[in-house]
């Protein structure tokens, strides 16, 4: 299982590519799917940006699982894996935008990314349990893995990194570029096909 998790972790930036190609090839969008899907994807990207503005560039590692802080600030106070929640919302939103092979592609993608993140998160949690012990166990008991809680979890005296939107934007540059490229491409394919 550790080998599967490490492969998923290492190549997690590339696993969406086959789904994107299918979305471009089988685009069947309408104005409402473009709007609704874009809004869902934008919420996902906003959650990611909020998360990386707390976690910084550590979210960009592709080697081994790790982290300097047990981050419980910002979105991490609501859900343990906000970046993966953001990713799933982005992928789902873009799938809605394109309406490619709807609803089969979207269901298959959700299932695939659930499996991928299950393996990655399981590996990350082993590291966090070993590194942060009782603090992490308390966090697990109070903050859900993927479905956010309404109120933020707080622990007095637990050292946290500083929030930095500037660093978040710097770390998120590649994702923002991909988000823009995919959204614009889906829109242009829809627009050109209707000329």
pLDDT at 63 (0 to 100)? 45
| Number of domains composing the chain | 1
Nearest to 132 by CA among 46, 68, 188: 68
- The CB density around residue 191, as the number of other CB atoms within 10 Å, is 11
Cα distance from N-terminal residue to C-terminal residue, the chain: 50
Nearest residue to 50 (alpha-carbon basis) of 180, 150, 168: 168
Distances (CA, A) of 191 to 9, 94, 185, 186: 36, 16, 10, 9
28 token code pair: 């069947």
Tell me the whole-structure pTM to 2 decimals: 0.90
Contact indicator for 55, 167 with CB cutoff of 8 Å: no
Range of the domain at 82: 2-193
pLDDT (tens, 9 = 90+) of the chain, 195 residues, equals: 567 878 888 888 899 999 999 999 999 999 999 999 999 999 999 999 999 999 986 655 444 455 678 999 999 999 999 999 999 999 999 999 999 999 999 999 999 999 999 999 998 999 999 999 999 999 999 999 999 999 999 999 999 999 999 999 999 999 999 999 999 999 999 999 988
């Amino acid at each position: 299982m550790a080998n599967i998790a490490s492969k998923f972790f290492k190549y997690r930036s590339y696993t969406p590519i086959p789904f994107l190609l299918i979305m471009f090839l089988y685009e069947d969008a309408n104005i409402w799917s473009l709007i609704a899907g874009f809004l869902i994807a934008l919420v996902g990207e906003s959650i990611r940006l909020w998360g990386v503005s707390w976690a910084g560039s550590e979210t960009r590692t592709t080697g081994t699982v790790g982290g300097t802080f047990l981050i419980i600030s910002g979105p991490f106070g609501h859900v343990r894996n906000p970046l993966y929640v953001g990713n799933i919302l982005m992928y789902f939103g873009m799938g809605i935008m394109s309406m490619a092979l709807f609803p089969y592609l979207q269901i298959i993608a959700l299932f695939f990314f659930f499996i991928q993140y299950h393996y990655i998160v399981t590996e990350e949690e082993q590291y966090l349990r070993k590194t942060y012990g009782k603090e992490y166990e308390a966090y697990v008991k109070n903050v859900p893995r993927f479905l956010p809680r309404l109120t933020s979890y707080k622990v007095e005296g637990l050292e946290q990194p500083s929030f930095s939107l500037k660093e978040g934007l710097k770390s998120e540059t590649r994702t923002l570029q991909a988000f823009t490229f995919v959204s614009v491409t889906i829109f242009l394919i829809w627009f050109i096909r209707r000329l």
